[in-house]
Structure 1
Amino acid sequence: MAYHFERTWHRRQLLRLAPAAGAGLLGLALGACAPSGPVASQATPNAAPGQSGAIPTGWDQLVAAAQKEGKVVVSGPPAPDARTKLPAAFKDRFNIEMEYLAVNSSQLASRIESERAAGQYTMDVSLGGPDTIYGTFLPNKWLDPLKPVLMLPDVVDPTVWPSGGPWFRDPSGEMSLQLFNTIIPIGYINTSTLSPDDLKTTDDLLNPKWKGKIASYDPSVNGGGLITGSIIYVKKGADFAKQLYQGQGIAYTRDYQQIADWVAHDSYPIGLAITPVYMNQYQGVVPTQELVLADLPTAVSGGYGIVSLWNQAPHPNAAKVFANWIASKEGVSVYGAIDQSAPVRTDVDASAWVPNHLIPKPGGDYFDTFEYRYVMEQRQPIARFYAALKG
């Protein structure tokens, strides 16, 4: 595996990216990519994306069955372009409609629970983050194995995955496939109010002059706020986290767009856990800059890049076709540009949509925020800690 886990509470979880892990991230240029996102190539409806080897037996039949089902229902991130570009690219490739449900992970879990209690099964594929998948979907047995479904040579080729094959993160190694791994900023600041020199370490966030001027995505629920909050908790401890989140009067939201707007409009000049895809829309328009705190570890995240198959899916064949496509070079390129995330695959150059400093480098030390034991044994208790701070 490319990452190693240190199972020690309240200590820095440093994960080393093996030299082979990023060897191709900065290598082969993807000719079809552009900063606005790649466009799927035109092909016959049942063509397999970018396959250099023989198409596996049964693929054409699977695509034909999927086309007969008519559509696939995919739950995924509420990113600005996801609901339009992802369905368009998939339909261009296979002539299968995609119904895209843009929803945050915590909201999705509540919806699935209500639907299944009523005997309703409306979704085929999940694109999401680890907390809800590991903590809710897997223990509730809502997912089907994904690994046996992957069949395209482009997808199962061990040479394009640093782990020697598709990177499954769940304990069984066959349910939840991680597509992305990107260095994540701790947050952003509005430089019309403060200078980067004002905030060099996490201790600087406790300066009384910043009280009431910091916002964060809610760290008590699954999402970016919990990722940032757990890094601060593990590195600085519970007392510091309480002083910061409670003592400094941090404003919370569960809307990624809102927190980006708050920082851009200077309502809160310091924003923690802002997803870059939302902040990037303000690039060159308002004076914002990434927040860099020297005493925090560099963290990597898969974004909304974990693919899982819902069981009792209404369109099981279309789900299998989509799962193979999204894990292929073409699918990862389309979705990576939308999510503005760096693919795990080593044959995709993400520099067209991810700044080079946010692409993990060979030999780097990284805090792996998607590691299963870390999420389940540390991050979930930390979420309860932040919930208690809110009362």
Structure 2
Amino acid sequence: MSHKMGMRAAVAIVLGMLAGSAVAQDAAWEKAIADAKNEKQLVLYTALVGDPTLKANVQAFEKKYGITVNVLEGRGSDIRERARVEQGAGRFIADVTYTSEGQARLIAREDKTYVVHDATPNLKGLKPEFARMTSNGLFGPVMTIPYGMLVNTSMVKPDDEPKSWADLANPKWKGKILSDDMRAIGGGYLMFFAQWNAPGLGEKFHEELAKNEPSFTRDMREAGRRVARGEFPIYVPFILNDIANLKGLPVKPVIPTEGVPFVLYGNVLMRNAPHPNAARLYIDFSMSEEAELLWAKSGMGITRAGLDDKIPEEVRPFANAKLLGTTDPDRQDEGLALAKKIYK
């Protein structure tokens, strides 16, 4: 046999092995779907209370697979404690929890209520930056809540609008910035942490920003209306899709050139889930094109690649905004201590 014929034979064998593996994987997933349908239901815990897009996703899943999703909503701390107590007593009720990536890592480590799960088909469609977050098999990324700036268009001329986070350190904004409190857990701290760890910003940026004496609030929903009323020309950080609630008012969202701080939400599998196949199927569906487009149309960021031309033009900048960074629960005490030091 010639060298070329030998190489061709070797390639053919490898391709045959790969094809056989793919067929086996497809068959295994089809069996998982069938087993999920036989389980007929699943229980979902979430702290994202009353979100219409989450409800729409649940309904789409139920319609596609005929599996009932029983949703329990509540405060994040209450949901966490409920799961911890239930599992500690050997009562395994929840199958999936929809939560932030940071909380998923923290709770998995401290409470042991979340567990890793086998890969599902839709993991292959994720953007690279989110695919990396699935490498430990714990978290299924679904969407991001992106934060930018809100500007009063009656008070700030287009040429004067801040285009970057760095622009906020300009002395012309002294006393004119309303900010969610960076010294407490929430959007303000998320912004602080992401900027602190971003190239070109860091601690020096916050030392300069502090000189502009931003006014702090802990009412993010009312903050946008305060800017619309002219109490302040700028509010940070602003959840970009909240602009829909300020329609007709003299305000506009700004996506800073450095990128947006974000909270990544997704699903985790509960330990000893009573409906494990239905749980995996729901986790996979939540990363599908159908589910991602529901989030994109609501103005949230998406984790799946290749959907640009299917996202409505008015929310496309939000769905695919450049990411600046998010929080790290392992460095929370360090970050809060620094924020309190800078913003006294």
Same fold (TM over 0.5): yes
1:174 aligns with 2:137: yes
Which whole-Å CA distance do the structure 1 matches of 2:260 and 2:212 have between them? 25
2:53 matched to 1:92? Answer: no
Contact 1:298 / 1:367 at 8 angstroms: preserved in 2?
A: yes
1:244 to 1:336, Cα distance in 2 relative to 1, 3 A = same
The equivalent residue for 1:40 is: none
* Corresponding residue SS for 2:178: strand
Report the CA distance between 1:91 and its aligned residue.
2.5
The share of aligned pairs that are identical, in percent, is 15
2:180 aligned to 203, 217, 220, which one?
Answer: 217
For structure 2, list consecutive stretches of 5 or more residues without a partner in the other structure: 1-25
Q: Decide which structure has greater strand share.
A: 2
Deviations 1:159-218 (A, max 9, x none): x34549x82516x52111223468x4531112122234334353545547652x433334
Post-superposition CA distance 1:321-352 (Å, at most 9, x none): 31121122222223443462233233574522
Letter aligned with residue 77 of structure 1? L
- 2:341 is the alignment partner of 1:385: no
Query: Which residue number in structure 2 is paired with residue 262 of structure 1?
Result: 226
In structure 2, distance between residues paired with 1:136 and 1:387: 26
Q: Could you give the per-residue CA deviations for residues 100-149 of structure 1, whole angstroms, max 9, x where no partner exists? A: 4556xxx5145413652474765432333333233444443231113x16
Kindly report which structure 2 residues correspond to 1:134-153, keeping only aligned pairs within 5 A, or say none.
Answer: 134-146=105-117, 148=118, 150=120, 153=121
Letter in 1 for 2:335: I
Q: Aligned ranges for residues 252-291 of structure 1 at < 5 Å?
A: 252-253=217-218, 256-283=220-247, 285-291=248-254
Does 2:195 align with 1:232?
yes
Query: In structure 1, what residue type is equivalent to 2:102?
Result: D
In structure 2, what is the equivalent of residue 251 of structure 1? 216
> Using the alignment, how far apart are the partners of 2:196 and 2:185 within structure 1?
15
2:33 is matched with: 59
Give the whole-Å Cα distance in 1 for the aligned partners of 2:71 and 2:298: 14
CA contact (8 A) 1:206 1:248 kept: no
Counterpart of 2:177, as a letter, is I
Deviation at 1:252, TM superposition (A): 2.4
Where 1:186 maps in the other structure, the secondary structure is: strand
Q: CA RMSD in A?
A: 3.8
Q: Does 1:322 align with 2:296?
A: no
Task: Note closer, same or farther for the CA distance 1:220–1:88 as it changes in structure 2 (3 Å cut).
Answer: farther
Q: What letter corresponds to residue 137 of structure 2 in structure 1?
A: E
Question: In structure 1, how many angstroms separate the alpha carbons of the residues matched to 2:324 and 2:251?
Answer: 26
Structure 1 length as normaliser, TM-score? Answer: 0.64
Which amino acid counterpart does residue 61 of structure 1 have in structure 2? D
Task: Give the SS at the match of 1:177.
Answer: strand
Question: Which structure carries more relative contact order (alpha carbon 8 Å, separation 6+)?
Answer: 1
Q: TM-score, length-normalised on structure 2?
A: 0.71
What's the CA shift string for 1:14-67, capped at 9, x where partnerless? Answer: xxxxxxxxxxxxxxxxxxxxxxxxxxxxxxxxxxxxxxx7762232122221x1
Q: 1:317 Cα deviation (Å)?
A: 4.2
Note the residue ranges of structure 1 that are not aligned, 5 or more in a row: 1-52
Per-residue CA deviations over 1:262-309 (Å, capped at 9, x if unaligned) read 3344444321122122222323x1121223556xx22474x4433222
Partners of 2:343 and 2:70 in 1: CA distance: 36
Q: Count residues in correspondence.
A: 311
